[in-house]
């Protein structure tokens, strides 16, 4: 995976706390229902990458999925890159920040949610930082 931000692991460790490093750089996952943004539903604002600050999701993209992680039906155009993930013995689609390559979570399609895309971007709260505002990126 190549991204515009080419910091070394040592450089990332200097700016991320251990949990952020584990999730963003080592593709970890936070426990379901524990993230600060799981039940966070503002009407305006932007969720940015906790690693590099890139705008990823508008508050208006967020929906209640009941999955235990923040869920979004879409991302800001160009902000998220998808990769095939064959770990855990199944085929999934990993999502990463397009700017720094930080692991965000996975995207699932066709689950029947009443959203414009019928997608669920299942994102680790640790990968995000919320910024209040009008929601424009």
C-beta of residue 105 within 8 angstroms of C-beta of residue 92: no
Residue 104: per-residue pLDDT: 98
Which residue shows structure tokens 């930082």? 129
What's residue 135's pLDDT? 52
Please say if the pLDDT value at position 137 is more than 80. Answer: no
Nearest to 70 by CA among 38, 93, 108: 38
Confidence of residue 90 (pLDDT cuts 50, 70, 90): confident
Check pLDDT > 90 for residue 36: yes
Kindly indicate the confidence band of residue 62, based on its pLDDT and cuts at 50, 70 and 90.
very high
Domains (range + CATH), the chain: 9-131 (2.170.150.20)
Residue predicted with more confidence, 120 or 89? 120
Question: Catalytic: which of 49, 52, 97, 122?
Answer: 122
Average pLDDT over residues 114-137: 89
122 annotated active-site: yes
Residue-wise pLDDT for 3-19, tens only, equals 678 899 999 999 999 99
pLDDT value, residue 61: 97
Cα angle 57, 12, 75; round to 5: 10
């Amino acid at each position: 995976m190549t991204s515009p931000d080419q910091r070394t692991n040592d450089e990332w460790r200097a700016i991320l706390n251990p949990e952020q490093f584990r999730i963003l750089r080592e593709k970890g996952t936070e426990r379901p229902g524990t993230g600060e943004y799981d039940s966070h539903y503002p009407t305006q604002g932007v969720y940015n990458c906790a690693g590099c600050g890139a705008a990823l999701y508008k508050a208006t993209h967020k929906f209640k999925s009941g999955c235990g992680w923040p869920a979004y039906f879409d991302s800001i155009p160009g902000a998220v890159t998808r990769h095939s993930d064959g770990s855990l013995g199944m085929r999934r689609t990993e999502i990463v920040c397009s700017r720094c390559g930080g692991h965000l979570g996975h995207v699932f399609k066709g689950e029947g949610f009443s959203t414009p895309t019928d997608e669920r971007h299942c994102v680790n709260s640790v990968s995000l930082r919320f910024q209040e505002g009008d929601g424009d990126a």
